[in-house]
Structure 1
Amino acid sequence: MTGTTSSRIGPLWWLVVLTIVLLMAATLLAMGRVPICECGTIKLWHGAVVSSENSQHISDWYSPSHFIHGLLFYWVTWLLLRQKSMGLRLAIATAVEALWEIVENTDMVINRYREATIALDYFGDSVLNSVSDAGFMIIGFLFASRMPVAVSVGIAVFFELLTAYIIRDNLTLNIIMLIWPMDWIRVWQGG
Protein backbone atom coordinates (compact mmCIF):
# COMPACT_ATOMS: atom_id res chain seq x y z
CA MET A 1 0.00 0.00 0.00
CA THR A 2 2.78 2.42 -0.67
CA GLY A 3 1.97 4.47 -3.81
CA THR A 4 0.53 7.61 -2.32
CA THR A 5 0.71 11.04 -3.91
CA SER A 6 3.68 11.84 -1.70
CA SER A 7 5.29 9.79 1.02
CA ARG A 8 7.13 12.84 2.33
CA ILE A 9 5.69 14.68 5.30
CA GLY A 10 6.55 18.35 5.14
CA PRO A 11 7.46 20.56 8.11
CA LEU A 12 4.05 22.23 8.13
CA TRP A 13 2.33 18.87 8.62
CA TRP A 14 4.75 17.98 11.43
CA LEU A 15 3.80 21.29 13.07
CA VAL A 16 0.11 20.37 12.72
CA VAL A 17 0.76 16.93 14.27
CA LEU A 18 2.71 18.50 17.15
CA THR A 19 -0.08 21.04 17.70
CA ILE A 20 -2.67 18.25 17.88
CA VAL A 21 -0.60 16.38 20.47
CA LEU A 22 -0.06 19.56 22.52
CA LEU A 23 -3.79 20.37 22.40
CA MET A 24 -4.52 16.83 23.56
CA ALA A 25 -2.06 17.23 26.45
CA ALA A 26 -3.58 20.59 27.43
CA THR A 27 -7.08 19.10 27.32
CA LEU A 28 -6.03 16.17 29.51
CA LEU A 29 -4.43 18.56 32.01
CA ALA A 30 -7.61 20.66 32.02
CA MET A 31 -9.57 17.46 32.73
CA GLY A 32 -7.44 16.95 35.84
CA ARG A 33 -5.17 14.19 34.55
CA VAL A 34 -1.81 14.03 36.32
CA PRO A 35 1.16 15.20 34.21
CA ILE A 36 3.41 12.31 35.29
CA CYS A 37 3.09 9.33 37.61
CA GLU A 38 2.12 10.41 41.11
CA CYS A 39 5.05 8.25 42.27
CA GLY A 40 7.23 11.20 41.20
CA THR A 41 9.41 9.29 38.75
CA ILE A 42 9.45 8.92 34.99
CA LYS A 43 10.31 5.47 33.69
CA LEU A 44 11.05 4.54 30.10
CA TRP A 45 9.28 1.20 30.70
CA HIS A 46 6.86 -0.01 33.34
CA GLY A 47 5.94 -3.66 32.90
CA ALA A 48 3.67 -4.35 35.88
CA VAL A 49 0.12 -4.30 34.55
CA VAL A 50 -1.63 -4.74 37.90
CA SER A 51 -0.06 -1.67 39.42
CA SER A 52 -0.95 1.92 40.24
CA GLU A 53 1.91 2.90 37.91
CA ASN A 54 0.40 1.18 34.86
CA SER A 55 -0.31 3.71 32.07
CA GLN A 56 1.67 6.35 33.94
CA HIS A 57 5.09 6.15 32.29
CA ILE A 58 6.56 6.46 28.78
CA SER A 59 5.89 2.87 27.71
CA ASP A 60 4.14 -0.22 29.03
CA TRP A 61 2.45 -3.37 27.79
CA TYR A 62 -0.25 -1.26 26.10
CA SER A 63 2.26 0.61 23.90
CA PRO A 64 2.08 -2.13 21.21
CA SER A 65 -1.68 -1.49 20.95
CA HIS A 66 -1.00 2.14 20.08
CA PHE A 67 1.59 1.07 17.51
CA ILE A 68 -1.15 -1.13 16.01
CA HIS A 69 -3.48 1.91 15.98
CA GLY A 70 -0.90 3.53 13.70
CA LEU A 71 -0.84 0.52 11.38
CA LEU A 72 -4.64 0.53 11.21
CA PHE A 73 -4.93 4.29 10.76
CA TYR A 74 -2.40 4.17 7.93
CA TRP A 75 -4.45 1.44 6.22
CA VAL A 76 -7.78 3.28 6.68
CA THR A 77 -6.39 6.62 5.46
CA TRP A 78 -4.76 4.83 2.53
CA LEU A 79 -8.12 3.29 1.59
CA LEU A 80 -10.13 6.49 1.99
CA LEU A 81 -7.64 9.26 1.26
CA ARG A 82 -4.83 7.78 -0.82
CA GLN A 83 -4.89 10.79 -3.18
CA LYS A 84 -4.24 13.14 -0.25
CA SER A 85 -0.84 13.97 1.16
CA MET A 86 0.81 11.73 3.70
CA GLY A 87 1.01 14.73 6.03
CA LEU A 88 -2.75 15.26 5.98
CA ARG A 89 -3.33 11.55 6.55
CA LEU A 90 -0.92 11.53 9.51
CA ALA A 91 -2.61 14.63 10.95
CA ILE A 92 -6.01 12.92 10.70
CA ALA A 93 -4.64 9.77 12.34
CA THR A 94 -3.09 11.85 15.12
CA ALA A 95 -6.36 13.69 15.68
CA VAL A 96 -8.24 10.38 15.97
CA GLU A 97 -5.64 9.04 18.42
CA ALA A 98 -5.78 12.27 20.44
CA LEU A 99 -9.56 12.11 20.57
CA TRP A 100 -9.36 8.52 21.80
CA GLU A 101 -6.85 9.48 24.51
CA ILE A 102 -9.22 12.21 25.70
CA VAL A 103 -12.29 9.93 25.66
CA GLU A 104 -10.33 7.08 27.26
CA ASN A 105 -9.51 9.34 30.19
CA THR A 106 -13.06 10.44 30.94
CA ASP A 107 -14.67 9.15 34.12
CA MET A 108 -17.21 7.26 32.02
CA VAL A 109 -14.60 5.18 30.16
CA ILE A 110 -12.32 4.76 33.19
CA ASN A 111 -15.28 3.40 35.16
CA ARG A 112 -16.21 1.15 32.24
CA TYR A 113 -12.71 -0.33 32.23
CA ARG A 114 -12.95 -0.92 35.96
CA GLU A 115 -16.42 -2.50 35.74
CA ALA A 116 -16.05 -4.57 32.57
CA THR A 117 -12.41 -5.67 32.69
CA ILE A 118 -9.88 -6.83 35.25
CA ALA A 119 -8.40 -3.31 35.39
CA LEU A 120 -9.57 -2.63 38.93
CA ASP A 121 -6.56 -0.42 39.68
CA TYR A 122 -6.93 1.65 36.51
CA PHE A 123 -7.48 5.34 37.22
CA GLY A 124 -6.61 6.73 33.79
CA ASP A 125 -3.40 7.63 32.02
CA SER A 126 -0.90 10.28 32.97
CA VAL A 127 -0.51 13.02 30.37
CA LEU A 128 3.02 11.75 29.71
CA ASN A 129 1.64 8.28 28.94
CA SER A 130 -1.05 9.69 26.63
CA VAL A 131 1.53 11.75 24.73
CA SER A 132 3.71 8.64 24.46
CA ASP A 133 0.72 6.61 23.25
CA ALA A 134 0.24 9.18 20.47
CA GLY A 135 3.94 8.84 19.69
CA PHE A 136 3.64 5.05 19.37
CA MET A 137 0.69 5.52 17.03
CA ILE A 138 2.75 7.92 14.88
CA ILE A 139 5.63 5.41 14.78
CA GLY A 140 3.19 2.66 13.73
CA PHE A 141 1.73 4.89 11.02
CA LEU A 142 5.20 5.72 9.65
CA PHE A 143 6.23 2.06 9.85
CA ALA A 144 3.18 1.00 7.83
CA SER A 145 3.88 3.69 5.23
CA ARG A 146 7.28 2.19 4.52
CA MET A 147 6.69 -1.55 4.85
CA PRO A 148 4.82 -4.08 2.75
CA VAL A 149 1.33 -4.90 4.02
CA ALA A 150 2.37 -8.43 4.99
CA VAL A 151 5.06 -7.06 7.33
CA SER A 152 2.58 -4.70 9.03
CA VAL A 153 0.02 -7.50 9.41
CA GLY A 154 2.71 -9.81 10.77
CA ILE A 155 3.86 -7.24 13.32
CA ALA A 156 0.26 -6.56 14.42
CA VAL A 157 -0.46 -10.28 14.87
CA PHE A 158 2.85 -10.76 16.72
CA PHE A 159 2.10 -7.90 19.14
CA GLU A 160 -1.47 -9.13 19.74
CA LEU A 161 -0.27 -12.69 20.47
CA LEU A 162 2.65 -11.50 22.60
CA THR A 163 0.57 -9.25 24.83
CA ALA A 164 -2.24 -11.83 25.06
CA TYR A 165 0.31 -14.40 26.21
CA ILE A 166 2.22 -12.15 28.64
CA ILE A 167 -0.50 -9.92 30.14
CA ARG A 168 -3.70 -11.66 28.95
CA ASP A 169 -4.80 -8.47 27.24
CA ASN A 170 -4.35 -6.79 23.87
CA LEU A 171 -6.11 -4.40 21.52
CA THR A 172 -8.67 -6.97 20.38
CA LEU A 173 -9.58 -8.06 23.91
CA ASN A 174 -9.65 -4.45 25.06
CA ILE A 175 -12.22 -3.54 22.40
CA ILE A 176 -14.33 -6.64 23.10
CA MET A 177 -14.36 -6.03 26.84
CA LEU A 178 -15.29 -2.37 26.45
CA ILE A 179 -18.11 -2.98 23.97
CA TRP A 180 -19.44 -6.43 24.88
CA PRO A 181 -17.84 -7.79 28.08
CA MET A 182 -17.73 -11.56 28.30
CA ASP A 183 -17.40 -13.32 31.63
CA TRP A 184 -15.20 -16.11 30.25
CA ILE A 185 -12.68 -13.52 28.97
CA ARG A 186 -12.66 -11.73 32.33
CA VAL A 187 -12.09 -15.04 34.13
CA TRP A 188 -9.25 -15.97 31.74
CA GLN A 189 -7.70 -12.50 32.10
CA GLY A 190 -7.84 -12.84 35.88
CA GLY A 191 -5.62 -15.91 35.63
Structure 2
Amino acid sequence: MTRNLHPWLVSFLILAVAAAWLLADGRAPLAPSGRILLWYDDPWGAEGSQHLFDWYSPSHLIHGLLFYAGLWLVARRLAIGWRFALAVLVECTWELVENSDAVIERYRTATVSKDYLGDTVLNSVADVVCMALGFWLARRLPVWISAALILLFEVVTVWLIRDGLALNVLMLLWPVEAVREWQAVAAG
Protein backbone atom coordinates (compact mmCIF):
# COMPACT_ATOMS: atom_id res chain seq x y z
CA MET A 1 0.00 0.00 0.00
CA THR A 2 2.81 2.43 0.83
CA ARG A 3 4.31 1.78 -2.58
CA ASN A 4 1.10 2.94 -4.27
CA LEU A 5 1.07 6.19 -2.27
CA HIS A 6 4.49 7.36 -3.43
CA PRO A 7 3.42 9.02 -6.71
CA TRP A 8 0.53 10.77 -4.97
CA LEU A 9 2.84 12.07 -2.25
CA VAL A 10 5.35 13.13 -4.88
CA SER A 11 2.57 14.96 -6.72
CA PHE A 12 1.58 16.80 -3.56
CA LEU A 13 5.21 17.69 -2.84
CA ILE A 14 5.66 19.02 -6.39
CA LEU A 15 2.63 21.26 -5.91
CA ALA A 16 3.85 22.41 -2.48
CA VAL A 17 7.30 23.26 -3.86
CA ALA A 18 5.75 25.15 -6.79
CA ALA A 19 3.52 27.15 -4.42
CA ALA A 20 6.51 27.94 -2.17
CA TRP A 21 8.55 28.95 -5.24
CA LEU A 22 5.80 31.32 -6.39
CA LEU A 23 5.64 32.89 -2.92
CA ALA A 24 9.44 33.22 -2.79
CA ASP A 25 9.35 34.79 -6.25
CA GLY A 26 7.04 37.52 -4.96
CA ARG A 27 3.68 36.25 -6.23
CA ALA A 28 0.82 37.34 -4.00
CA PRO A 29 -0.86 34.52 -2.08
CA LEU A 30 -4.32 36.13 -2.51
CA ALA A 31 -6.01 38.87 -4.52
CA PRO A 32 -5.10 42.44 -3.50
CA SER A 33 -8.63 42.89 -2.13
CA GLY A 34 -8.01 40.07 0.35
CA ARG A 35 -11.19 38.36 -0.82
CA ILE A 36 -11.26 34.72 -1.86
CA LEU A 37 -13.90 34.17 -4.49
CA LEU A 38 -14.87 30.72 -5.74
CA TRP A 39 -15.49 32.21 -9.22
CA TYR A 40 -14.27 35.48 -10.71
CA ASP A 41 -16.37 36.33 -13.74
CA ASP A 42 -14.49 39.19 -15.43
CA PRO A 43 -11.63 37.82 -17.58
CA TRP A 44 -10.28 41.34 -18.14
CA GLY A 45 -10.96 42.66 -14.64
CA ALA A 46 -8.43 43.87 -12.11
CA GLU A 47 -8.61 40.61 -10.16
CA GLY A 48 -8.44 38.22 -13.10
CA SER A 49 -6.37 35.11 -12.27
CA GLN A 50 -6.47 36.14 -8.61
CA HIS A 51 -9.20 33.87 -7.22
CA LEU A 52 -9.92 30.13 -7.16
CA PHE A 53 -11.59 29.68 -10.54
CA ASP A 54 -12.14 31.92 -13.55
CA TRP A 55 -12.66 31.78 -17.31
CA TYR A 56 -9.16 30.31 -17.73
CA SER A 57 -9.85 27.34 -15.44
CA PRO A 58 -11.26 25.29 -18.37
CA SER A 59 -7.94 25.65 -20.21
CA HIS A 60 -6.20 23.97 -17.27
CA LEU A 61 -8.79 21.20 -17.31
CA ILE A 62 -7.92 20.78 -21.01
CA HIS A 63 -4.26 20.49 -20.00
CA GLY A 64 -5.20 17.50 -17.86
CA LEU A 65 -7.13 15.85 -20.70
CA LEU A 66 -4.19 16.40 -23.05
CA PHE A 67 -1.53 15.33 -20.53
CA TYR A 68 -3.40 12.09 -19.89
CA ALA A 69 -3.62 11.39 -23.63
CA GLY A 70 0.01 12.31 -24.26
CA LEU A 71 1.33 10.25 -21.39
CA TRP A 72 -0.88 7.33 -22.40
CA LEU A 73 0.73 7.49 -25.85
CA VAL A 74 4.35 7.75 -24.73
CA ALA A 75 4.42 6.18 -21.26
CA ARG A 76 1.45 3.84 -20.95
CA ARG A 77 3.58 1.20 -19.20
CA LEU A 78 4.28 3.67 -16.42
CA ALA A 79 1.90 3.30 -13.48
CA ILE A 80 -0.99 5.78 -13.59
CA GLY A 81 0.17 7.43 -10.36
CA TRP A 82 3.56 8.23 -11.87
CA ARG A 83 1.95 9.52 -15.07
CA PHE A 84 -0.16 11.78 -12.86
CA ALA A 85 2.97 12.97 -11.02
CA LEU A 86 4.54 13.83 -14.38
CA ALA A 87 1.40 15.75 -15.36
CA VAL A 88 1.54 17.66 -12.07
CA LEU A 89 5.23 18.42 -12.69
CA VAL A 90 4.50 19.77 -16.19
CA GLU A 91 1.53 21.85 -14.98
CA CYS A 92 3.49 23.25 -12.04
CA THR A 93 6.40 24.06 -14.35
CA TRP A 94 3.97 25.94 -16.58
CA GLU A 95 2.63 27.86 -13.57
CA LEU A 96 6.18 28.91 -12.66
CA VAL A 97 6.96 29.96 -16.24
CA GLU A 98 3.59 31.67 -16.75
CA ASN A 99 4.13 33.72 -13.60
CA SER A 100 7.69 34.74 -14.34
CA ASP A 101 8.26 38.44 -14.86
CA ALA A 102 9.25 37.85 -18.50
CA VAL A 103 6.03 36.00 -19.40
CA ILE A 104 3.82 38.41 -17.46
CA GLU A 105 5.42 41.26 -19.39
CA ARG A 106 4.90 39.32 -22.64
CA TYR A 107 1.18 38.98 -21.84
CA ARG A 108 1.04 42.73 -21.21
CA THR A 109 2.75 43.69 -24.47
CA ALA A 110 1.53 40.99 -26.88
CA THR A 111 -2.09 40.52 -25.78
CA VAL A 112 -5.02 42.67 -24.69
CA SER A 113 -4.16 41.81 -21.06
CA LYS A 114 -2.40 45.14 -20.45
CA ASP A 115 -2.97 45.07 -16.69
CA TYR A 116 -2.21 41.38 -16.13
CA LEU A 117 -0.56 40.86 -12.73
CA GLY A 118 0.09 37.15 -13.00
CA ASP A 119 -1.69 34.53 -10.96
CA THR A 120 -1.97 34.53 -7.21
CA VAL A 121 -0.58 31.43 -5.54
CA LEU A 122 -4.17 30.47 -4.73
CA ASN A 123 -5.13 30.66 -8.41
CA SER A 124 -2.05 28.71 -9.50
CA VAL A 125 -2.86 25.91 -7.05
CA ALA A 126 -6.48 25.91 -8.29
CA ASP A 127 -5.18 25.71 -11.87
CA VAL A 128 -3.23 22.57 -10.96
CA VAL A 129 -6.39 21.15 -9.34
CA CYS A 130 -8.25 21.81 -12.62
CA MET A 131 -5.52 19.99 -14.52
CA ALA A 132 -5.83 17.08 -12.07
CA LEU A 133 -9.59 16.99 -12.66
CA GLY A 134 -9.02 16.89 -16.42
CA PHE A 135 -6.50 14.06 -16.01
CA TRP A 136 -8.96 12.13 -13.85
CA LEU A 137 -11.79 12.68 -16.33
CA ALA A 138 -9.66 11.55 -19.26
CA ARG A 139 -8.81 8.35 -17.41
CA ARG A 140 -12.47 7.52 -16.92
CA LEU A 141 -14.21 8.87 -20.01
CA PRO A 142 -14.21 7.49 -23.54
CA VAL A 143 -11.74 9.28 -25.80
CA TRP A 144 -14.52 10.83 -27.87
CA ILE A 145 -16.03 12.47 -24.77
CA SER A 146 -12.63 13.85 -23.75
CA ALA A 147 -12.21 15.27 -27.26
CA ALA A 148 -15.73 16.69 -27.13
CA LEU A 149 -14.98 18.35 -23.78
CA ILE A 150 -11.88 20.00 -25.21
CA LEU A 151 -13.87 21.31 -28.15
CA LEU A 152 -16.76 22.40 -25.93
CA PHE A 153 -14.53 24.31 -23.48
CA GLU A 154 -12.68 26.04 -26.32
CA VAL A 155 -15.85 27.00 -28.19
CA VAL A 156 -17.63 28.25 -25.06
CA THR A 157 -14.72 30.38 -23.84
CA VAL A 158 -14.03 31.80 -27.31
CA TRP A 159 -17.71 32.60 -27.71
CA LEU A 160 -18.17 34.14 -24.25
CA ILE A 161 -14.84 35.88 -23.61
CA ARG A 162 -13.04 35.77 -26.98
CA ASP A 163 -10.21 33.75 -25.49
CA GLY A 164 -9.32 30.16 -24.70
CA LEU A 165 -6.35 27.84 -24.61
CA ALA A 166 -5.60 27.90 -28.34
CA LEU A 167 -5.98 31.67 -28.65
CA ASN A 168 -3.98 32.23 -25.47
CA VAL A 169 -1.06 30.19 -26.84
CA LEU A 170 -1.33 31.86 -30.25
CA MET A 171 -1.30 35.37 -28.81
CA LEU A 172 1.53 34.61 -26.42
CA LEU A 173 3.80 33.05 -29.06
CA TRP A 174 2.72 34.65 -32.36
CA PRO A 175 0.50 37.67 -31.72
CA VAL A 176 -1.95 38.39 -34.52
CA GLU A 177 -3.11 41.99 -34.64
CA ALA A 178 -6.55 41.08 -36.02
CA VAL A 179 -7.11 38.69 -33.10
CA ARG A 180 -5.92 41.32 -30.61
CA GLU A 181 -8.38 43.85 -32.08
CA TRP A 182 -11.21 41.29 -31.98
CA GLN A 183 -10.41 40.45 -28.33
CA ALA A 184 -10.15 44.14 -27.42
CA VAL A 185 -13.86 44.51 -28.18
CA ALA A 186 -14.60 42.10 -25.28
CA ALA A 187 -11.93 43.61 -23.03
CA GLY A 188 -13.04 47.16 -23.86
TM-score, normalised via structure 1 length? 0.94
Q: CA deviation at 1:145?
A: 0.5
Q: Distance in 1 between matches of 2:43 and 2:127?
A: 16
Aligned-pair identity in percent equals 49
In the alignment, is residue 82 of structure 1 matched against residue 76 of structure 2? yes
TM-score, normalised via structure 2 length? 0.96
In the alignment, is residue 10 of structure 1 matched against residue 4 of structure 2? yes
1:101 equivalent among 86, 95, 104: 95
Looking at secondary structure, tell me which structure has more helix per residue: 2
SS at match of 1:119: coil
Amino acid at match of 1:40: G
| 1:101-180 pair list within 5 angstroms | 101-180=95-174
SS at match of 1:10: helix
Determine the structure 2 residue equivalent to 1:64. Answer: 58
Q: Distance in 2 between matches of 1:143 and 1:10?
A: 20
Number of positions where the alignment pairs a residue of Structure 1 with one of Structure 2:
183
Q: CA RMSD in A?
A: 1.0
Unmatched 5+ stretches in structure 1:
1-8
Amino acid at match of 1:117: T
Amino acid at match of 1:113: Y
Q: Distance in 2 between matches of 1:14 and 1:182?
A: 41
SS at match of 1:98: helix
Determine the structure 1 residue equivalent to 2:14. Answer: 20
SS at match of 1:56: coil
Q: CA deviation at 1:12?
A: 2.1
SS at match of 1:155: helix
